[in-house]
Each structure stands twice: as C-alpha cells, then as structure tokens.
Structure 1
Amino acid sequence: MLRNIPPLLSPDLLYSLRAMGHGDEIVIADANFPGSSIGPTCIRADGSTASEVLQAVLTVMPLDSFVPDPALTMQVVGDAEAIPEAVTDFQRIIDQVADNPARVQSLERFAFYERAADAFTIVQTGERRLYGNIILKKGVIV
C-alpha cells in the first residue's frame, strides 16, 4: 500500500505510468476494445470503469501541454459529431482532475485503432458504455 495513490492503480499500471516518457501515450479502453490483440502491453482492470481509471491516472500523470490534442476519443461510427455519454464523463473528469485540462478531441474509429497500436500501454477496463475509450498523451512534470 502507498499513501495518496489511488488503490485502483495496480503495480503493473503504476510501473507503466512511471516508465512512460513525455509524449508517450496510454489507452484507457472499454470492455469491447481489442486490447490484447492490437499490439502494446495490455493491463487488465476488468472491475473498473474507464472513468474510474481515467480519474486515477490523472491524479498521478500530467497531460501534455505542448500539443493541441492530449486526450483523444473514438468517433461514433456513422455520426462523427455525436458525443457519447462516456466521452461527456471523460471531459468532466479532465476538467476537474487534470493539471492541464484540455478539450477532448476525437478520431475516426480505424485511425483511433492505429494510434492505439502505437501506444505505450493499454488499460482494458470493464467499461460497458459504448465508445468508452480514450488515449492520453503524457506531459512533463516540472
């Protein structure tokens, strides 16, 4: 146990967050996401929602302040302007918790998969809301 570290952050996830450098990306994915087959290391967090993991991650990891899009979600197929419930929740969490709040941007589904394949790690949650996926770019700790 550690003080001031959300218990939801497992040893494997803490290791990945600590090992990431400025500009590396982490994917927090829903239960439907192909986390184990897409490429990077996949850390399981089946008992948690994507929102819970996002909040915990943002308590220890800064968002990149040098790019216009440090938080990316997947667009709804067939309706790129739609904002899913999970994405609305992600924005609320970023606004409240992130040291560098930013507007969530979106990527087309397959562009999101390609970006996720190059991420440092993927956290596969038990999130059941559709489009409950977000990519975060790590910032600098000053």
Structure 2
Amino acid sequence: MLTGIHPLLTGPLLAHLDAMGHSDAVVQADAHFPAERLGTRSLAFPGVATPDLLTAGRTVVPLDDAPAVDLMATPDGSRLPVQDELAGAAGTGEIRFLDRQEFYDVAAAFLVVPTGETRVYGNMILRTRVVRP
C-alpha cells in the first residue's frame, strides 16, 4: 500500500498519468461527455465529481505552460458553479474556455476519464509539463 497518495488515485489511473509525456492531455469529463467515442484510453469514475477528481489529480500532475487547462464554454458565455470549482481545483489562473465543438476536437487526449458528475459543462482538459529535478 502506498502512503501520501490521494485515495481517488487508483493504480490504473496513476499508471496512465505516469505514462503521459510533455503536453499530453487528460480529459476529466462529466457523465454526459462522449468519452467512449472520443477517447482511445478511458477509465471511468462513476461515483466521483469532476472537481474532486481534479483535486486528486493535481496532487501528482504538474501543469504545462499555458494553455494548461481548458474548460467547455457555455453557449451564452456564462460561468457555472461547477466551472468555478474546476478552476479552483486546477490551481491556476490561466483557464481557456473552448466552445463545445472545439472542446471535442481538442479532447482527443492521451486519456479520457468520465466521472459521475451530473452537472452540465463539468468537463476539463489538463496538460502536463516536463518534470524538472
């Protein structure tokens, strides 16, 4: 058993995150997201909210240079509470908002992680950076 690892970070998820390289992306998606269609690698976390999984992931994933985090924009440009939670969990002020189709285009990522998040627009893309000694 490992210590110091967030309990939401399962062995399979850690293995995928560890295999990611510079600027590889992971999509953490709400329950409505077409994860199986867009992702070549997918790990489902059906009982977890997207901001909670992002909080866990940020304990081990260093953010790339901008744009490190993308969120899916609402059609009217408003910002929803789930998006505020995702921005807070990302821990960076540099968030890019993409319209839905552009988000889907960019979401062809190294890993797609559908969650149990039922709030709409609870999707984000996170890019990793080089880990320096």
The TM-score normalised by the length of structure 1 is 0.89
- Is contact 1:85-1:129 (8 Å) kept? no
Separation in structure 1 between the aligned mates of residue 82 and residue 94 of structure 2, nearest angstrom? 14
Cα deviations by residue, 1:17-56 (Å, 9 ceiling, x for unpaired): 0000011000000000011121321100001100111001
Identity of aligned residues (%): 38
Specify every segment of 5 or more residues in structure 2 that has no aligned partner in the other structure, as ranges.
Answer: none
Separation in structure 2 between the aligned mates of residue 140 and residue 131 of structure 1, nearest angstrom? 29
- Aligned-residue Cα RMSD (Å) equals 1.1
Separation in structure 1 between the aligned mates of residue 131 and residue 98 of structure 2, nearest angstrom? 27
| 1:47 matches 2:37 | no
Give the match's secondary structure for 1:93.
Answer: helix
| 1:25 matches 2:25 | yes
Aligned residue pairs: how many?
132
1:76 counterpart (74, 77, 81): 74
Q: How does 1:1-142 map to 2 (within 5 A)?
A: 1-65=1-65, 68-77=66-75, 79=76, 81-95=77-91, 101-117=92-108, 119-142=109-132
4+ long deviations beyond 4 Å: none
1:103 CA drift (Å):
2.0
Give the match's secondary structure for 2:44.
Answer: strand
User: Which amino acid is 2:47 matched to?
Assistant: G
User: Which amino acid is 1:127 matched to?
Assistant: E
Separation in structure 2 between the aligned mates of residue 141 and residue 71 of structure 1, nearest angstrom? 17
- Is contact 1:63-1:138 (8 Å) kept? yes
Separation in structure 2 between the aligned mates of residue 138 and residue 107 of structure 1, nearest angstrom? 19
Separation in structure 2 between the aligned mates of residue 61 and residue 136 of structure 1, nearest angstrom? 9
